[in-house]
């Protein structure tokens, strides 16, 4: 077996702790990462996160920020490169000291309150020789590229692996780095897609790539000795999907359950922002439609939308507003869903999701037309939550068909 070192890289969690589970084949989840990371012994690996923990500073995002820090610690990350927003939120939550004690950190965004180092070095052994692995964070907008050399000063004659994490990038940045800092082996660029992307020629130094978003992939950089002494280390990049076949780590499963309990205890469902419906309209619930539309109601009641809320209960996500909003009626509006206890008649994906709030239509025995707001399929069947939907729209529609006439669905937005 060829002796090698492995660098694992992730980043841009953006608040995604695990896939929602609403469709098969979804990638990601902290609870499955260890199945990849632990394939390499601790003394032969370096585990790095490139930062960007959450999207915003909402109450729910801040809860996730706490959980993500704990997840990195549980997964034995060697290093986390903090974004400017990561530092700002950590400072506001008084968590910076906790972060520093949990794992090594770097950032190009030091502040007067927190002097974060810009680089981290770890010694690893490859074929009996010490390899000096240095990871540095760099902001090309605020620092001249010529200063990169100050981050990677090493004793001559020692094999090195130099990785540069960029906080931003433009088309000319990598070429400038290659010219001014030929000793840089890898450049990690900001991610613009969920999947990791190799930028440019993978066989040329520096090897440039992005790590993707939402934890759906783990980037693996396999490092082997050169054919001849004095040549650069050999690098092989691969993006590993965090798929459903990977074994879950029970400690990370428990951590996600802790998150669910916090969300419940904070009562985030009731705090969810709600807007007034136009013209005094209100949601009435699907059973209110039955007296006039009995055939349609009974057909709807036998399909998957009528059981949407129970899938949340099975997953323990019935208190998470990010999940609940697509499994109930009108949660974004006043008179819409609040909780099973208070608005149980609005659970599941019902008539008013697609046709609009029904109070006036019912009051006037159908004389008043149903109006906005009406949801479309793609409001909830997004690539993130329903990866199989695109390209299979007709098959999905057949599952929920509840009308008699071939064209009866035409009035549904």
Q: Which tens digit of pLDDT belongs to each residue from 287-303?
A: 999 999 999 999 999 99
From CA 375, how far away is CA 83, in angstroms rounded?
A: 36
Residues in the chain: 413
| Structural domains of the chain, with CATH | 4-250 (3.60.21.10), 274-411 (no CATH)
Q: Looking at the DSSP assignment, which residues form a beta bridge with residue 275?
A: 333
pLDDT at 189: 97
pLDDT given at position 23: 78
- The rounded distance, in Å, linking the Cα atoms of 206 and 152 is 14
Q: Given this model, what pLDDT does residue 112 score?
A: 64
User: In sequence order, what are the residues at sequence separation of 6 or more whose Cβ sits closer than 8 angstroms to the Cβ of residue 393?
Assistant: 377
Q: Taking the mean position of all CA atoms in its chain, how far away is CA 186?
A: 24
Residue for token digits 């939120």? 89
Instruction: Judge whether 334 and 323 are in contact, CB under 8 Å.
Output: no
Averaged over successive runs of 10 residues, the pLDDT of the chain (413 residues) comes to 93 96 89 98 97 97 97 97 95 89 92 82 93 96 94 83 94 93 96 95 94 98 90 95 97 98 97 96 98 96 96 95 97 97 97 98 96 96 89 93 69 49
Strand positions, DSSP E, 79-156: 79-81, 104-106, 119-126, 129-138
| Residue 42, number of CB atoms within 10 A of its CB | 11
Who contacts 89 (Cβ-Cβ below 8 Å, separation ≥6)?
53, 54, 57, 62, 65, 95
Q: What pLDDT is recorded for position 317?
A: 96
Q: What is the model's pTM?
A: 0.93
CB 285, CB 345: distance < 8 Å = yes
pLDDT tens string 331-378 = 999 999 999 999 999 999 999 999 999 999 999 999 999 999 999 999
Q: How many CB atoms lie within 10 A of CB 13?
A: 25
Sheet holding 217-224, edge to edge: 104-106, 79-81, 45-49, 4-10, 217-224, 234-241
Which among 330, 321, 381, 382 has a CA at the least distance from the CA of 351? 330
Q: What is the pLDDT of residue 413?
A: 44
């Amino acid at each position: 077996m060829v002796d090698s070192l492995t660098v694992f890289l992730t980043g841009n969690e953006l608040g995604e702790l695990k896939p929602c589970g609403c469709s098969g084949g979804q990638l990601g989840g902290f609870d499955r990462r260890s199945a990849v990371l632990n394939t390499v012994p601790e003394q032969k690996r370096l585990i790095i996160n490139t930062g960007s923990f959450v999207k915003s500073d909402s109450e729910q995002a801040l809860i996730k920020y706490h959980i993500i820090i704990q997840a990195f610690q549980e997964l034995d990350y060697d290093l986390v490169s903090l974004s400017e927003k990561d530092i700002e939120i950590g400072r506001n939550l008084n968590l910076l000291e906790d972060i520093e004690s949990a794992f090594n950190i770097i950032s190009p965004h030091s502040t007067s309150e927190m002097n974060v180092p810009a680089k981290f070095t770890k010694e690893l052994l490859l074929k009996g020789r010490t390899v000096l692995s240095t990871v540095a964070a760099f902001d090309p907008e605020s620092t001249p590229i010529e200063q990169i050399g100050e981050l990677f000063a090493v004793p001559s004659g020692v094999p090195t692996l130099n990785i540069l994490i960029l906080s931003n990038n433009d088309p000319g940045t990598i070429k400038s780095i290659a010219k001014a800092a030929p000793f840089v082996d890898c450049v990690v660029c900001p991610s613009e897609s969920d999947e990791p992307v190799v930028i440019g020629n993978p066989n040329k130094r520096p090897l440039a790539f992005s790590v993707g978003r939402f934890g759906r992939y783990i980037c693996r950089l396999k490092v082997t000795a050169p054919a001849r002494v004095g040549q650069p280390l050999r690098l092989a990049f691969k993006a590993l999907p965090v798929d459903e076949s990977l074994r879950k780590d029970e400690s990370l499963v428990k951590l996600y359950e802790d998150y669910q309990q916090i969300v419940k205890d904070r009562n985030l469902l009731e705090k969810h922002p709600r807007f007034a419906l136009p013209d005094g309209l209100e949601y009435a619930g699907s059973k209110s439609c039955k007296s006039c539309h009995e055939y349609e109601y009974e057909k709807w009641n036998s399909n998957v939308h009528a059981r949407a809320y129970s899938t949340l209960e099975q997953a323990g996500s019935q208190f998470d507003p990010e999940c609940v909003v697509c499994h109930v009626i009108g949660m974004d509006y006043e008179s819409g869903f609040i909780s099973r206890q208070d608005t149980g008649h609005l659970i599941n994906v019902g008539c008013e999701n697609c046709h609009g709030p029904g109070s006036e239509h019912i009051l006037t025995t159908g004389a008043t037309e149903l109006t906005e707001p009406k949801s479309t399929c793609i409001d909830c069947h997004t690539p993130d939550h329903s990866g199989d939907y695109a390209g299979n729209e007709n098959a999905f529609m057949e599952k929920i068909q509840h009308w008699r006439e071939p064209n009866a669905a035409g009035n549904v937005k």
